Amino acid sequence: MTAELIDGKAFAAGLRARVAAQVPTFQAAASRAPGLAVVLVGEDPASAVYVRSKGKQTREAGMESFEHRLPADTGQDDLLALVEQLNADPAVDGILVQLPLPRHIDEQEVLLRISPDKDVDGFHPVNAGRLATGMEGFVPCTPLGCLMLLQDRLGDLSGLDAVVIGRSNIVGKPMAALLTQASCTVTVAHSRTRDLASHVARADIVVAAVGRANFVQGDWIKPGATVIDVGINRVEGKLVGDVDFASAMRVAGAVTPVPGGVGPMTIACLLRNTLVAAHRNAGVPLAGDVLAGIDRPERT
């Protein structure tokens, strides 16, 4: 058996196009474009690439991109002052501080300072709480992208067994909340989980977000399962995921590749969240079916 490849790159391009198609209508109603501010502190090469892509894709969608590049030795107070300035700026609908931050900066304090109404990353505890309780808020981009890929492939997820490997605030926890909301039976596995393989073996859906290259083995996977690989690990100059791709492809029903799977969905969902933030901040309604179309596009 050879699994189907889930083409996140193509899905993300479609999502970006659907977001871009909504921008002129917003602009006509609000007399301005949606605006996204991205803050990069330091020179981490991977972060610099992601921030460049965010700026480019924001502009391509017809939105305004505000980019702030600060030196690695920027102090906590200066960064917080910039966040406050962006919170108060009516042209800015979404604020994103690129992670990881340099070690001398208290990441939690910075994320807490972003207005929850502009928190398009969905990392603020207010938005985490909204997600946990099923309220409207901002959902972190990577798990939102994973959910879209899963719903596109499987349709209704209710009743399916899902295992999420990893319990980070950015991926594992929100992913588990989204799958629970979609009526899956969810197991959250982590470094202390005993007999991980036995949990994976029961799962119709496997989301691997553990940060260890080629960790999940094909012979753990239930035949036909859908495998979402969130990992981005560099091994000998090559990008590999958290799933051992070759062995997973022999057993699973569908697998996201790395690169070209989940990664591109992260920025596409950021644009989607920025569009939603702009409508909410400007008091311009975004038609429910338009949102549904973004979250659950028709199959072509």
Ligand X SMILES: Nc1nc2c(c(=O)[nH]1)N[C@@H](CN(C=O)c1ccc(C(=O)N[C@@H](CCC(=O)O)C(=O)O)cc1)CN2
| Interface with ligand X, residue 15, by CB under 6 A | no
- The correct pick among 116, 259, 293, 297 for binding ligand X (CB under 6 A) is 259
Confirm or deny that 115 is annotated as ligand binding: no
Task: Name the residue nearer to ligand X (CB basis): 125 or 260.
Answer: 260
Cα–Cα distances (Å) from 180 to 18, 133, 160, 185, in that order, read 27, 11, 10, 7
Query: Are the C-beta atoms of residues 34 and 93 closer than 8 Å to each other?
Result: yes
Nearest to 205 by CA among 140, 141, 255: 255
The answer to whether residue 267 forms part of the interface with ligand X (CB under 6 A) is yes
Q: Residues 260, 284, 290, 291: which binds ligand X (CB under 6 A)?
A: 260
Mode of pairing for the β-strands spanning 238-240 and 233-235: antiparallel
142 touching ligand X, by CB under 6 A: yes
Paired residues of 206 in beta bridges? 163, 227
From the list 82, 65, 64, 53, the residue with the least C-alpha distance to 27 is 64
Return the axis-axis angle of helices 263-282 and 288-295, rounded to nearest 10°. Answer: 170
Please give the angle made by the CA atoms of 269, 273 and 276, to the nearest 5 degrees.
140
Candidates 98, 226, 273, 281; binder of ligand X (CB under 6 A) is 98
239 binds ligand X (CB under 6 A): yes
What distance in Å separates the CA atoms of residue 31 and residue 275, rounded to the nearest whole number? 14
- For 53-65, give one letter per residue: b (16+ CB within 10 A) or e: ebbebbeebbbbb
Tell me how far, at minimum, the Cβ of 239 lies from ligand X, in Å. Answer: 6
What are the residues facing 38 on neighbouring strands? 67, 96
The residues in 18-57 that bind ligand X, with binding defined as CB under 6 A, are 50
- In the set 119, 121, 204, 244, the catalytic residue is 121
Known catalytic membership, residue 73 = no
**Which is the catalytic residue, given 57, 98, 242, 244?**
98
Question: Which residue, 70 or 99, has its beta carbon nearer to ligand X?
Answer: 99
Query: With the C-alpha atoms ordered 132, 133, 136, 137, is the resulting torsion angle positive or negative?
Result: negative
Site for ligand X (CB under 6 A): how many residues? 17
Consult the annotation and say whether 283 binds a ligand: no
- Asked whether residue 228 is marked as a ligand-binding residue, the answer is no
258 interacts with ligand X by CB under 6 A: yes
| By CB under 6 A, residue 263 contacts ligand X | yes
User: Of the candidates 58, 266, 273, 274, which one interacts with ligand X according to CB under 6 A?
Assistant: 266
168 assigned ligand-binding residue: yes
Residues 6+ positions from 156 with CB-CB distance below 8 Å: none
Query: Is 121 among the residues known to form the active site?
Result: yes
Q: Which is nearer to ligand X, 34 or 261 (CB)?
A: 261
Task: Give residue 46's identity as a one-letter amino acid code.
Answer: A
Q: Is 204 a catalytic residue?
A: no
Q: Which is nearer to ligand X, 253 or 259 (CB)?
A: 259
What are the residues binding ligand X (CB under 6 A)? 50, 96-99, 121, 141-142, 232, 239, 258-260, 263-264, 266-267
Known binding residues: 166-168, 232
Known binding residues for NADP(+): 166-168, 232
Residues designated catalytic: 54, 98, 121
